[in-house]
Structure 1
Amino acid sequence: MMTRETKNKKISLTDNNYNKEERVPWSGKIFNNLKDIAQKDLSSPDLLVFPSSIDDTEINADTHIIELIQDSEEETNKKVCKIRTGNIMGFVGKDNVHLRIHSRFDDMSNEGGKEPKGNFLYYMLSKVLNINLTSLETTTSAKDSILNLLFMFFPKVLKEALAQGLYKEYRYFQYNDDRVRGAIEVSRFIREDIPFRGKIAYRTRELSHNNNLLHLVRHTIEYIRNSSLGRGILNNDLDTRNAILQVVNVTPDYQVRDRRRIIQCCMQLINHPFYTKYRALQKLCLSILRHERVMYGEDNDKGYGLLFDGAWLWEEYLNTLLKPLDFVHPENKKGQGGINLFDTTPHHTIYPDFYKEGQIVADAKYKRYAKDENGNKREVAREDLYQIITYMYRLNIKKGIFLCPSVCKEEFVTPYKIGDNDATIEVIGLSIPQNAKLHFRDFCTEMRKNEYKFICMVEKALTSMDSI
């Protein structure tokens, strides 16, 4: 689970390891850095969290990234500490400690001492972000892995920001003409316009798109273009290319030598009541441009990270598979697609993950509700059963399905029958390849095969509903 380097300590974990806390060697500085990471909350300005607002996830603002379990005296003498993870995946680090949290459904074997690949995590991100990453090899260093993920998120965050319009702010401009519309600069007038030739030197304050923040975005675009992966991501689709063109057109005086100055000017995050999405874009740009300084310890005591909610990622990934089947996907955090539980009170609104009117309700569960490695069935939690039964009753639907990842190779459907009214609930698993030796390209091929089988099982559930 861990590789050793001369200067840096890399620790690879899986999410939701409540039943099996990871043990790592305990040294003074490493333990202190881990303690700092554990105490950071997701509202920290040094961390990038996706979705860009933690309100879009099921994670609370005060959620700790990891939890350090108190060791007994005997364990302390052995110089080990135990780390417990929650529903958060991604990368986080401080000084010489780099913590990487993979999906628990990834094959985490590290044969030959190599860092685990995390193919499933990359695959879900590529599907959700609509990026073709079949040429990406995920066995790169921790530095490259984090930078690759930052690159992947850039088009999405850029387009979300530009959907609010091109950012503009007041800037001072100097002019020298006969259309005075600002404060006259006497010294410059004497220097440039004496003897008088009909022009007056003045300066004015105007709203402009040609500002430091959009120059920061332009510098990030040019930086990403320097790598083959980055060029592929920026050219991935027409919307991304058009967004980049907008930024390029409004920054005609871009100069690469200005990069350090622009970064310094943009260190304070904007807090604009209208351009709310630009704050996440600014944080992402700063993380990309300052990535090497952070990774190599030039910014002492500065934490960094890219984190996302595993349940959110799994649900959004399933949406890419179910959308062609015309499933409705309500979004509770945006208040869209909700259904009133009671006719008389509009305050009790329910948000099923997916449903088809009058046919089926689907609940996305990023849990081990499928069969395990040995093919043993796991029981669904009582609370989850009650939740989906509520959805079924309210929507007058007799078929419910749980959709979850599986590490079992065989196809399976686990049924639950409800009473004598022909209502049933099934657990349908999507098999995740468990071969650590697979190249990412081969992993994608295996996943596409498993997705086809998975969709066939969902369609079969729909067909069985039509026959009732």
Structure 2
Amino acid sequence: MKRMMKLIKTTDNNGRGEPFDAALHLGNLKKLSAKPLCELDLAEHPNLLIFPSDFKVNGDDIGNQHIFTIDENRLLTGNIMGFIGYNNTQVSIRSRFATNDTNDYFLHYMLQRVFAINLFDLKFGTNNEGVFNFLIYLFPEFLKRAIRQGVYKEYQTRNYNDANVKGRIDIARHIRQNISFTGKIAYTTREYSTDNHVTQLVRHTIEYLAVHPLGSNVLYNDEETRNAVSGICQATPTYNRKELRSVINCNLRPLSHPFFIEYRNLQLLCLQILQHEEIRYGNDNNNQIYGILYDGAWLWEEYLNTVLRDIGFLHPKNKIGEGGIHIFTDKVGREKAMPDYHRSDIVLDAKYKRYSDWSAVSRDDRNQLIAYMHLYNTVNSGFIVPLENSDIKMTRSLSGRGGTMSIIGMNVSTICDNFKDFCSHMAKEEKLLKEKIAQICDCSRIEHT
């Protein structure tokens, strides 16, 4: 029987709180807000997808964040965005920079850039259907990332009955199947195979998308995706569409192999896609947390990287210790300086905050940027922030060794009739951002010559 779903709409970083009907939702919301993200057992909730999936890669400590908190009968949110549900309660958390109640173009635009997907034909909305349709567009990028690690292999037990014995002879099965000797031997062997429960799950997802109205295009959008799809199909010769439920059950515990981390993400995504109908209609889904969540600070930082790398910026993997420079010349210890982006003439930090003027900049953020300037021997620095219907580039000169510090804004909240128009607006903003950075560096270069 279909359950009546109740959707609560709010925005990220809503400190005033969103009111809700306690009689309908309080128990379910307490369940969703009871634990920080790092304490949620994803094996227990395979229909919950969180980005970034590895909580340790995010310097804003997403793992210790709660999805939201409850203050009396109001819902208070932080940097977490997306969609989440439990029983008959669903919560949609839009970006606070969204211009209306229906279309969160800014969130979807960042997702499009970070995951390299085409969303021009996506029908937006804050309901369950719109959010889970988005998973289909994520599939090619997740598949390609996984395939770059190689086709997943693991040991499988196989039963054979032929003349090429290469394992343990199964006496009972041999007597049962070969009672009048025909030259065959029944035996069992362990093989390191690409045909396993994970690749079978991916194959079932491919076959599901092949007949889905949105799926056929994403499977064959580019050559790398086509090759990845072909590789999975070749790796799963025993595919049988009637075994879907059995394959899903075998994948309910996420992979833990450190090398195949991308397959874990793909595995969780496939489970959500294949179980979409159950989630949509609430079948057999009582007491299951489901949804798709993003850390806003992480998403903003990764989106800006897609813009700034075109003009020579490096983006250290500062959350996992790759890149950056050692603080001490002897390089003893693990301390490194890792700004979000750096170039020879400027260091930049992404801030998913409202920095409308200098009073909004915290002392810690300011001092950290000054330290980066010293260690990277640059004379310019800045914060890149999203803005609502305004445009700022404020630059101040520093005392002591000199240099500049700037607040550089991008207008991400313009009102557009459709998503295509919003993409055109953002393309102009990205060009303007590059021009602002160039202007800061050019002015500083002139002053120091």
Q: TM-score, structure 2 length as denominator?
A: 0.90
Residue 453, structure 1, aligned to residue 432, structure 2: yes
Q: Superposed, which structure 2 residues align to 1:8-87 within 5 Å?
A: 8-18=5-15, 20-27=16-23, 29-43=24-38, 44=40, 45=42, 46=45, 47-57=48-58, 58-69=60-71, 71=72, 81-87=73-79
Q: What secondary structure, in the 3-state scheme, does the structure 1 residue paired with 2:63 have?
A: coil
Change (3 A) 1:214 1:412: same
Deviation at 1:164, TM superposition (A): 3.0
Match of 2:89 among 69, 81, 97: 97
Deviation at 1:226, TM superposition (A): 3.2
Partner of 2:299: 313
Of residues 166-175 and 31-40 in structure 1, the stretch that sits farther from structure 2 once superposed is 166-175
Partner of 1:106: 98
Question: Which deviations, in whole Å up to 9, do the C-alpha atoms of 1:54-73 show, x marking residues without a partner?
Answer: 1111225342110001x3xx
Partner of 1:221: 206
Give the letter aligned to residue 320 of structure 1: T
Q: What secondary structure, in the 3-state scheme, does the structure 2 residue paired with 1:253 have?
A: coil
Structure 2 gap segments, 5+ residues each: none
Q: Superposed, which structure 2 residues align to 1:424-435 within 5 Å?
A: 424-435=404-415
Give the letter aligned to residue 93 of structure 2: I
Deviation at 1:6, TM superposition (A): 8.8
Residue 397, structure 1, aligned to residue 378, structure 2: yes
Q: Superposed, which structure 2 residues align to 1:364-375 within 5 Å?
A: 364-370=350-356
Partners of 2:3 and 2:169 lie apart in 1 by 61
Of residues 153-162 and 285-294 in structure 1, the stretch that sits farther from structure 2 once superposed is 153-162
- Decide whether the 8 Å contact of 1:39 with 1:65 is kept in 2: no
- Decide whether the 8 Å contact of 1:360 with 1:465 is kept in 2: no
Match of 2:341 among 354, 373, 376: 354
- Decide whether the 8 Å contact of 1:433 with 1:446 is kept in 2: no
Partner of 1:74: none
Change (3 A) 1:336 1:270: closer
- Decide whether the 8 Å contact of 2:314 with 2:342 is kept in 1: yes
Partners of 2:122 and 2:135 lie apart in 1 by 14
Q: What secondary structure, in the 3-state scheme, does the structure 2 residue paired with 1:414 have?
A: strand
Partners of 1:136 and 1:457 lie apart in 2 by 32
Deviation at 1:238, TM superposition (A): 2.7
Partners of 2:190 and 2:402 lie apart in 1 by 71
Could you say what the CA RMSD is over the residues aligned between the two structures, in angstroms?
Answer: 2.3
Residue 303, structure 1, aligned to residue 284, structure 2: no
Partner of 2:361: 380
Give the total of aligned pairs: 437
Partners of 2:9 and 2:439 lie apart in 1 by 39
Partners of 1:198 and 1:187 lie apart in 2 by 16
Residue 444, structure 1, aligned to residue 423, structure 2: yes
Structure 1 gap segments, 5+ residues each: 72-80, 111-115, 372-376
Q: What secondary structure, in the 3-state scheme, does the structure 2 residue paired with 1:61 have?
A: helix
Partners of 1:272 and 1:319 lie apart in 2 by 28
Question: Which deviations, in whole Å up to 9, do the C-alpha atoms of 1:265-318 show, x marking residues without a partner?
Answer: 222333335434333322222122112212322211111121121111111111
Change (3 A) 1:276 1:443: closer
- Decide whether the 8 Å contact of 2:346 with 2:441 is kept in 1: yes
Match of 2:189 among 192, 195, 204: 204
Give the letter aligned to residue 293 of structure 1: E
- Decide whether the 8 Å contact of 2:381 with 2:404 is kept in 1: yes
Partners of 2:61 and 2:21 lie apart in 1 by 29
- Decide whether the 8 Å contact of 2:323 with 2:338 is kept in 1: yes
Q: What secondary structure, in the 3-state scheme, does the structure 2 residue paired with 1:277 have?
A: helix
Partners of 1:6 and 1:439 lie apart in 2 by 32
Identity of aligned residues (%): 40
Of residues 250-259 and 123-132 in structure 1, the stretch that sits farther from structure 2 once superposed is 250-259
Q: Superposed, which structure 2 residues align to 1:120-269 within 5 Å?
A: 120-139=106-125, 142-190=127-175, 192-269=177-254
Question: Which deviations, in whole Å up to 9, do the C-alpha atoms of 1:79-136 show, x marking residues without a partner?
Answer: xx111111111111101111111111111x33xxxxx211100000000111121222
Deviation at 1:323, TM superposition (A): 0.6
- Decide whether the 8 Å contact of 1:131 with 1:236 is kept in 2: no
Give the letter aligned to residue 228 of structure 2: A
Of residues 50-59 and 418-427 in structure 1, the stretch that sits farther from structure 2 once superposed is 418-427
Change (3 A) 1:179 1:152: same
Partners of 1:92 and 1:406 lie apart in 2 by 26
Q: What secondary structure, in the 3-state scheme, does the structure 1 residue paired with 2:37 have?
A: coil
Question: Which deviations, in whole Å up to 9, do the C-alpha atoms of 1:321-356 show, x marking residues without a partner?
Answer: 111101111111231112122224533311011111
Of residues 339-348 and 395-404 in structure 1, the stretch that sits farther from structure 2 once superposed is 339-348
Partners of 2:258 and 2:122 lie apart in 1 by 38
Give the letter aligned to residue 52 of structure 2: P
Q: What secondary structure, in the 3-state scheme, does the structure 2 residue paired with 1:222 have?
A: helix
Residue 343, structure 1, aligned to residue 329, structure 2: yes
- Decide whether the 8 Å contact of 2:352 with 2:386 is kept in 1: yes
Of residues 199-208 and 311-320 in structure 1, the stretch that sits farther from structure 2 once superposed is 199-208
Change (3 A) 1:8 1:211: same
Partners of 1:40 and 1:306 lie apart in 2 by 17
Q: What secondary structure, in the 3-state scheme, does the structure 1 residue paired with 2:360 have?
A: coil
Q: What secondary structure, in the 3-state scheme, does the structure 2 residue paired with 1:214 have?
A: helix
Change (3 A) 1:378 1:448: farther
Question: Which deviations, in whole Å up to 9, do the C-alpha atoms of 1:147-193 show, x marking residues without a partner?
Answer: 13322332333333333322222223233332222233445544554
Partner of 2:279: 294
Question: Which deviations, in whole Å up to 9, do the C-alpha atoms of 1:165-223 show, x marking residues without a partner?
Answer: 22222223233332222233445544554543333232322221111221111111222
Change (3 A) 1:178 1:394: same
Q: What secondary structure, in the 3-state scheme, does the structure 2 residue paired with 1:279 have?
A: helix
Partners of 1:68 and 1:49 lie apart in 2 by 21
